[in-house]
Amino acid sequence: MTHHDPDGPTIETANEVRQGPKGKPILYVLVIGLGLAALALLYFTSTSVENPPGPGTDSVPATSEPAPAPAAP
């Protein structure tokens, strides 16, 4: 319990001095941080790396149709 003496310093207990501030700003930081962590977890668990492209491969997906034959000169 905080005691305020008008002629002197504010007197606080040891627990009050050690504890940080309470209130909505701290709660906002906690909620936003947890929300961002959850979004990051969802993003990284939903991306697939089962078939990563190898060296020299294009980003165009392969089709079942054969490539056209080159024109004769």
Place of tokens 């020299």: 56
Question: Would you give per-residue pLDDT tens digits along the chain (73 residues)?
Answer: 666 667 778 888 887 777 777 778 888 999 999 999 999 999 888 876 666 666 665 556 666 677 777 887 7
Task: Collapse the DSSP code of 24 into the 3-class scheme (helix H, G, I; strand E, B; otherwise coil) and give the result.
Answer: helix
CB-based contacts of 59, cutoff 8 Å, min separation 6: 53
Model pTM?
Answer: 0.41
